[in-house]
């Protein structure tokens, strides 16, 4: 099964999650991310990150209550009421784009927090080990930490999560590249 191999908290996110009653949603997120087989061809750049993203999105779709947003917003959110107050967790999944697009995810998360749409943020990326086996220039946890630091996003109540595959398998399909304009 896929597994979380690292979590990097920023700006009191763990305390905020506990205080606001978001722990059940974070636990549910961890189950979504870990409770499925994830095998990849263990060769540099042999697997498509979009295929992993599709697997994760399917897991969210099967779970109840998670809302998916399209481009320009937080990927997945879920809210619940704790002690009469509605609280929300926002999740960005970054497996299939260039690592520098992590900054865009951080912008989405910051905007959702400042607009009052979410109370805590999570960014899920491949572990450094898994990232090697996905398409080149894709993100890894080391990239995410660097981008959080360089974008000065360490003031967000943010949890970085690194996901690891569970062993060798066939290559996961890569996205077809667009043909050059004629």
Residues 33-50 have pLDDT tens digits of: 998 999 999 999 999 998
pTM of the predicted protein model: 0.92
Closest CA to 134 of 98, 176, 81, 181: 98
Residues of the chain with pLDDT under 70: 176-182
- Helical H segments across the chain, by residue range: 13-20, 23-34, 49-62, 102-114, 128-133, 141-150
Strand partners, 167: 39
pLDDT given at position 173: 86
Which H or E run contains 124? Answer: strand 120-126
Residues 63-88 have pLDDT tens digits of: 999 999 877 789 999 999 977 889 99
Q: Please provide the size of the chain in residues.
A: 182
């Amino acid at each position: 099964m896929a597994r979380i191999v690292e979590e990097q908290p920023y700006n009191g996110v763990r305390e905020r999650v506990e205080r606001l009653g978001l722990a059940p949603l974070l636990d549910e997120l961890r189950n979504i991310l870990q409770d499925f087989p994830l095998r990849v061809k263990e060769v540099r750049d042999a697997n498509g990150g979009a295929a992993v993203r599709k697997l994760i999105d399917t897991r969210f779709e099967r779970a109840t209550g998670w809302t998916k947003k399209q481009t320009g917003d937080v990927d997945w959110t879920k809210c619940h009421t704790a002690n009469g107050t509605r609280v929300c967790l926002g999740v960005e999944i970054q497996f299939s784009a260039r690592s520098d697009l992590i900054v865009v995810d951080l912008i989405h998360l910051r905007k959702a927090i400042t607009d009052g749409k979410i109370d805590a943020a999570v960014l899920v990326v491949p572990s450094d080990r898994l990232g090697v086996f996905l398409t080149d220039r894709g993100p890894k946890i080391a990239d995410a930490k660097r981008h959080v630091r360089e974008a000065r996003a360490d003031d967000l109540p943010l949890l970085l999560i690194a996901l690891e595959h569970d062993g060798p398998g066939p290559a996961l399909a890569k996205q077809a590249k667009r043909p050059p304009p004629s």
